[in-house]
Amino acid sequence: MRTLDIDTIKALDKSRMLELLLGLDKQCAEAKYIGLNVDLTGFSADGVKNIVFSGLGGSAIGADLIRSYTADEIDVPIIVNRDYTVPNFVGRDTVLFTSSYSGNTEETLSAYKMAREKKVRMIAISSGGKLEESAKKDGVRFIKIPSGIPPRCALGYSFIPPLLALGKLGFIPNKEREIDEAIEVLRSLKKELGPEASDSKANIAADIALALKSRLPFIYGANAHLDVAVTRMRGELAENSKHLASTHVFPEMNHNEIVGWDFPAELMKEFVVIFLRDSGDHKRVAMRIDITRDILKKKGIKTVELHSRGVGLLSRIMSLVFTGDMISFYLAIINGIDPSPVDRITYLKNELAKEPL
């Protein structure tokens, strides 16, 4: 008998995290509407040599998604900056997106201030807070997104409007069709991965969550395009499941970490490796993953493979992201905890507030 019955889920999920996760398709549709209505009239992209996204946590993962998804088609580099400062190269030939869901993330506000001093072309994204106040006061283009949910649950809002903005500015082709396809894939997946199917062998999210109980997961995937899904799953396991995980990407993992799978020998039986697989993986990377999987299996390491769904690249990435989110939710229930609270983050912010920046 699974520990994922509806009654247990309702009892533990006090802040309705499940509803937020299952609503990602609707959020993406709303985010598309927001993005299509962003007014960038008069915003010049002439001479831009780099694009920088400055944000942290849930507000930065959308930027990671844009960077990874557009890597094969955009002509200028995209950098995701997670710090109080902006890189020294940031200047007049930069377009900088400052993203903070709450609008009050101190690192992002600090980076915003530094960028303003450098006279950077800037677009701000938040649900309100000090970032909105500063953007309106300074005449910075501002994208308003809905408030009231945990930042990690706002992936559609942090990703789709700036993606469409990049299209409007001519950096990439218009992505409406790809977004629509991804929404359809998410709609299909949530029927398979929802709690009504949690007792079904077809629910791979529930199955993987059960495999992770009392074990340390290692999440591996291709650096090209899937790095964001790898990072996202680690973050969701931490915030939702309160469960540590380790991550790495191919082919780099084969040049260092593969050798480390000997010690601590007494803990190896407590590890689980999740391989994220995609039909678009470079054929040599796919071979590397197969060989690595076989090496670990021979050592008695439990391995699981999670394959992407959909036709287009965006759909395939989002399918892995959504499945990872659902794994993290089910693991929270298995761990017997409410997935929503992030008490240590709240405590840390309160302590920092005693000595303002």
Would you call 255 a catalytic residue per the annotation? yes
Would you call 175 a catalytic residue per the annotation? no
40-62 confidence digits (pLDDT tens): 999 999 999 999 999 999 999 99
204-245 confidence digits (pLDDT tens): 999 999 999 999 999 999 999 999 999 999 999 999 999 999
Please state, for a pLDDT cut of 70, what percent of the chain lies above it.
98
Whether the per-residue pLDDT at 338 is higher than 60: the answer is yes
In the prediction, which pLDDT does 4 show? 83
In angstroms, the CA 25 to CA 325 distance is: 13
255-282 confidence digits (pLDDT tens): 999 999 999 999 999 999 999 999 999 9
| Structural domains of the chain sorted by starting position, each given as residue range(s) with its CATH number in brackets | 6-12+189-334 (3.40.50.10490), 17-174 (3.40.50.10490)
107-135 confidence digits (pLDDT tens): 999 999 999 999 999 999 999 999 999 99
Assign residue 129 a region (left: φ > 0; alpha: ψ between -120 and 50; beta: otherwise): left
* Residue partners of 347: CB distance under 8 A and separation at least 6: none
Annotated active-site residue in 181, 239, 242, 243: 239
Place of tokens 């990439």: 172
Model pTM greater than 0.85? yes
Whether the per-residue pLDDT at 2 is higher than 60: the answer is no
In the prediction, which pLDDT does 201 show? 61
Annotated active-site residue in 113, 130, 282, 349: 349
| Nearest in space to 245 (alpha carbons), one of 208, 272, 211, 205 | 272
Would you call 349 a catalytic residue per the annotation? yes
Average pLDDT for 58-76: 97
In the prediction, which pLDDT does 196 show? 81
* Residue partners of 301: CB distance under 8 A and separation at least 6: 261, 268, 271, 272, 273
Could you tell me how far CA 121 lies from the centroid of its own chain?
25
Average pLDDT for 90-96: 97
In the prediction, which pLDDT does 224 show? 96
Query: What are the phi and psi torsion angles at 96 (to 5°)?
Result: -115, 125
Annotated active-site residue in 255, 283, 298, 354: 255
Strand partners, 96: 52, 122
